[in-house]
A and B are shown apart, each in its own frame.
Chain A
């Protein structure tokens, strides 16, 4: 198990390095930042001096090296807009995003699992059909539309919930619900099909031969087997959620990292964009490492690979 963890850790580190290269290249691809930042009438010498000051005239590998050294110290430079260290800005907005993402994750996993199990047990019933149709609907509707519709219904028409902002728990209800819809659907469908497959398997037949009750079989054996693909899915789900908050934060004016990123893209605030992407990526890589470990716990077959 330990060797398995080390292997996954090694892969995670390599991925982080890969991400750093991509971030570095991508931010340099979008054009010469000097021209954007300097006034229109700057002379060539002023431009050259500015470039030199930003270190943009050094060869690429030197730039990359400096880039890596800097980010290792947490230095992404200062935000061009806010004149604060980019990393501080990013980190200060991160908790709000995580609030939404994690809540949606937990909610969607629990509900998806539950509905998926019930759906599988009641295969062919009205419940099963309804669950499947609703899943497809949920996965097909764009999240910003759903968000806006929910605001219209619950905030504007019914006045049950606030329209936007983040001043308390009640403000989380609509955005988390919107975020969670797609993962609930995906988890439900995967759980259902994994359960059905499992319940058909020969070892379940043997479990029945032993005299174990159907409930015991479902909750001890089938569920754990169904968790295998669901765990695999959760890595993707987390990625989807953390990325998806960008849109939701816009719709609900939620002061999180997503909102900051959109803003930074529009204002070409490179240091913040870089910092945001880097932080998000590392975070996701760590989360996926966690998922991998969880996988090893659930499925003994991968441990001894």
Chain B
């Protein structure tokens, strides 16, 4: 555990999406608070609609037009990101804060060469040009194990496989030595062996550059591979967070437990039915009062439908928001 001031502190973040006609408000991120220490890797685990991607986009300030941050604070390196101007945020992005998106096939502009797109952040944040620029670009591509880097600079995205593209995206993301890298579902669109290769790469980049990493994923396996801490999100709230081993060995929130139990494991024999979570994911524009997981929770009690439970400490660094846990 690294001591000292955390690199990132998110406090009670609230982000909402307004529907086109202004009628419905979706509370995509509903009071999220967490910290990231330098050099640490945090996993944000959730399914679609959990708010995990919106949290990441709120930190980077790249929310879609219809979305707005309506509350909370985000401290990065001591400065409040939400108080910064658009121009200041722009300068941070790509340089101190960076992100990798899910699908490498659509992360790059199909009309421009790899070199042109790799050069953009380098020209902007590092004012590189000419031979120095080319040198740095080939170095970056070699660092992510792209063979024949000089040739690749002149190629276009459609000439490459998904795995190679994702590595190039990784190279672009770290090209200006950011302090924080957010990877949003970085391996979901990749084949299994390519996935494994890419996670290796992330690990290697993190260790060699002392990056702090936030990995947004729906896959516990990815988190198990890379993360020190994880936080599980549901309907815009954090339902449980703690060190990775704690969460795996000792999950306390019913959603976390159910999620872990519903993952099929090839080496598990016998029992052919998977444990499921009944019901459907919630409609974020019409959340019932109380805990959003109540309609599907196997251990629900009356209080759950009335009031949202506070964070209860289970162990060092391990908290969950659940009335059942609270009671115990």
Interface 1/0s, chain A 286-305, versus B by CB < 8 A? 00000000000011110010
Does chain A have a CB within 8 A of B109?
A: yes
Complex contact A202–B101 (CB within 8 A): yes
Complex contact B90–A211 (CB within 8 A): yes
Complex contact A304–B159 (CB within 8 A): yes
Q: How far is the CA of A203 from the CA of B168 in the complex (A)?
A: 13
For residue B98, which residues in chain A have a CB less than 8 angstroms away from its CB? 209
Complex contact A211–B124 (CB within 8 A): yes
Complex contact B109–A207 (CB within 8 A): yes
Complex contact B112–A221 (CB within 8 A): yes
Complex contact B124–A212 (CB within 8 A): yes
A contact residues, range:
20 to 34
Question: Distance (Å) between the CB of B78 and the closest chain A CB?
Answer: 20
For residue A209, which residues in chain B have a CB less than 8 angstroms away from its CB? 60, 62, 93-94, 98-99, 101, 173
Question: Nearest chain-A residue to B107 (Cβ)?
Answer: A206
Q: Is the interface of A mostly helix, strand, loop or mixed?
A: helix
Complex contact B90–A213 (CB within 8 A): yes
Complex contact B169–A206 (CB within 8 A): yes
B contact residues, range:
20 to 34
Q: How far is the CA of A298 from the CA of B110 in the complex (A)?
A: 10
Complex contact A300–B106 (CB within 8 A): no
Q: How far is the CA of A111 from the CA of B172 in the complex (A)?
A: 36
Complex contact B91–A211 (CB within 8 A): yes
For residue B125, which residues in chain A have a CB less than 8 angstroms away from its CB? 211
Q: Which residues 235-270 of A have a CB within 8 angstroms of B?
A: none
Does chain A have a CB within 8 A of B313?
A: no
Does chain B have a CB within 8 A of A225?
A: yes
Does chain B have a CB within 8 A of A159?
A: no
Does chain B have a CB within 8 A of A10?
A: no
Complex contact A205–B101 (CB within 8 A): yes
Does chain B have a CB within 8 A of A201?
A: yes
For residue B106, which residues in chain A have a CB less than 8 angstroms away from its CB? 201-203
Complex contact A301–B107 (CB within 8 A): no
Complex contact A210–B101 (CB within 8 A): no
B98, B101, B109, B172 pick with most chain A CB within 10 angstroms: B109
Complex contact B111–A298 (CB within 8 A): yes
Question: Distance (Å) between the CB of A207 and the closest chain B CB?
Answer: 7
Question: Distance (Å) between the CB of A119 and the closest chain B CB?
Answer: 16
Interface 1/0s, chain B 90-116, versus A by CB < 8 A? 111111001101110011111111000
Question: Nearest chain-B residue to A198 (Cβ)?
Answer: B109
Does chain B have a CB within 8 A of A93?
A: no
For residue A132, which residues in chain B have a CB less than 8 angstroms away from its CB? none
Q: How far is the CA of A225 from the CA of B111 in the complex (A)?
A: 7
Q: How far is the CA of A213 from the CA of B123 in the complex (A)?
A: 13
Does chain A have a CB within 8 A of B120?
A: yes
**Given A209-B60, A211-B124, A300-B156, CB of A202 within 8 Å of CB of B91:** no
For residue B95, which residues in chain A have a CB less than 8 angstroms away from its CB? 211
Interface 1/0s, chain B 164-205, versus A by CB < 8 A? 000001001100000000000000000000000000000000
Complex contact B109–A210 (CB within 8 A): no
Q: Which residues 208-244 of A have a CB within 8 angstroms of B?
A: 208-213, 221, 224-225, 228
Beyond A202-B101, A206-B99, A301-B110, 4 additional pairs, beta carbon < 8 A:
A206-B108, A209-B94, A225-B111, A300-B156
14 contacts between A and B (CB under 8 A): A202-B102, A203-B106, A203-B107, A203-B109, A206-B169, A207-B120, A208-B93, A209-B94, A209-B173, A211-B124, A212-B90, A225-B111, A298-B111, A300-B156
Enumerate the 10 nearest inter-chain pairs by beta-carbon distance, A residue then B residue, closest first.
Answer: A211-B94, A211-B93, A210-B94, A202-B106, A210-B121, A300-B156, A209-B99, A206-B107, A208-B62, A203-B109
